[in-house]
């Protein structure tokens, strides 16, 4: 079996504000259409993400706007990605790592300021939220584990 994760539905309150936010960050606008019955679908794709996109709009989900946590954007250069997102208007946190060095905990628990001391792949992060509070985690991956 072959499966790919291509779409994640993001709950938002203001579709146009959210569209401006993500396109302002450099996400590619793939679609924006509205049906006669009021269903609106906006699809954007992060730079370099290929086919993995997010969609948001009207009548797409019953989830509470801003309730999404832990969406990961992976980059080989965390400091540069953070700088670019800051320049484009995102309020990105300082770079941090988890005190245990395995993966990060939910929220701000167990966070230590600065990159992972060993600069290992999968161990350094930064985070930001969209206008509704949906949380994104930037994760640095320089060398992928075998099979990834």
pLDDT at residue 145 tops 80? no
What is the reported pTM?
A: 0.92
Do both 98 and 134 map to the same domain? yes
Do both 77 and 54 map to the same domain? no
Q: How far, in Å, CA of 32 to CA of 51, rounded? A: 16
Question: Percent of the chain having pLDDT more than 70?
Answer: 99
In a domain, 101, yes or no: yes
Judged by average pLDDT, the poorest of 6-10, 48-52, 75-79, 141-145 is: 141-145
Range of the structural domain that residue 96 is part of: 71-140
In a domain, 1, yes or no: no
Instruction: Determine the average pLDDT of the residues in 48-62.
Output: 93
What percent helix, strand, coil does the chain show, rounded to 5? 15, 30, 55
| Exposed / middle / buried, residue 12 (Cβ in 10 Å: 0-12, 13-18, 19+) | buried
The more confidently predicted of residues 80 and 3 is: 80
- The beta strands (E) that lie in the chain are given as 7-9, 28-34, 40-45, 53-58, 71-75, 96-98, 111-113, 124-129, 135-140
What is the CATH number for 75?
3.10.180.10
Structural domain total, the chain: 2
Tell me the average pLDDT of the chain.
93
């Amino acid at each position: 079996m072959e499966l790919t994760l291509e779409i994640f539905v993001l709950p938002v309150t203001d579709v146009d504000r959210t569209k401006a936010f993500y396109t302002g960050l450099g996400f590619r606008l793939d679609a924006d259409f509205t049906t006669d019955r009021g269903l609106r679908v906006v699809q954007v794709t992060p730079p370099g993400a290929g086919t993995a996109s997010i969609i948001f709009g009207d009548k797409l989900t019953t989830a509470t706007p801003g309730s999404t946590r832990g969406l990961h954007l992976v980059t080989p250069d965390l400091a540069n990605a953070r700088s670019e997102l800051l320049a484009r208007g995102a309020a990105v946190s300082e770079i941090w790592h988890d005190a245990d060095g395995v993966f990060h905990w939910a929220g701000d628990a167990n966070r230590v300021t600065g990159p992972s001391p060993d600069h290992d792949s999968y161990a350094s992060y930064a985070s930001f939220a969209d206008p509704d509070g949906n949380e994104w985690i930037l994760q640095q991956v320089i060398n992928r584990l075998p099979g990834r």
